[in-house]
Structure 1
Amino acid sequence: MNPAPMTSQHDIYDPPPSGTSWLPPRSEPLTFTRSDLACLLVLGTLVLIGTAVAFLFEALLGILVLIGGSLVVLESWYTALGFLSRRPTDQTWQRVVIILAALVPWVVCLGLAAALMIGLFVLTDIAA
């Protein structure tokens, strides 16, 4: 059985050129309010408290908590500001909820990773 002849010079492996622009999109400044800055300061303070607690156990752990926590807080804050620039709201409580919602994936993933590590430590302690 012979396949039907192709009427076009392009197929799914060789698509025709698209009209996509090679120029990057224009960057827009992120605007933030006092409540956004207050959320950043509160979250940063929580990271510093966590760092101080971690330093009580191990200096390297404190450094890792400081670096990792700072990156998580800054990334979540910038993500929330990016969302708020596309869907602006003037209500403070909504802005705070959006900033906290940006932290949820980090809290879940890092909490799960920490639980798995603690579980492995417990299992090795029981086995020893």
Structure 2
Amino acid sequence: MVGCLCHDLDHRGTNNAFQAKTGSALALLYGTSATLEHHHFNHAVMILQSEGHNIFANLCSKEYSNMMQLLKQAILSTDLTLHFERRSKFFESVLAEEFSWTEEKHREVLRCFVQNKTRRM
């Protein structure tokens, strides 16, 4: 849910291609791969670390680290370039009968799909 709420924080009304082509400050800061998504994640972290806003403050260090990784993964997965790459790999693994619920990488791909689907609702 947090990823859904934060996936477009401080959006500039442009896309990653525009950021790269114009050499924007964001492209220089984050690079040209998932530029805006990195910015959205960092903006979310900034808000969550502000006094009174850290809804994950009661988590232990390991849980907090895991939560931040999941949040980052959720927000970065909204880059459509990455989405279509992962989608192809997912269908390949399913068709080859290699998909496994017990494998973390496979569950990660599913989480990314869910994030992309829920952000469009």
TM-score, normalisation: structure 1: 0.30
Larger Rg: 1
Structure with more contact order per residue of length (Cα contacts < 8 Å, sep ≥ 6): 2
TM-score, normalisation: structure 2: 0.32
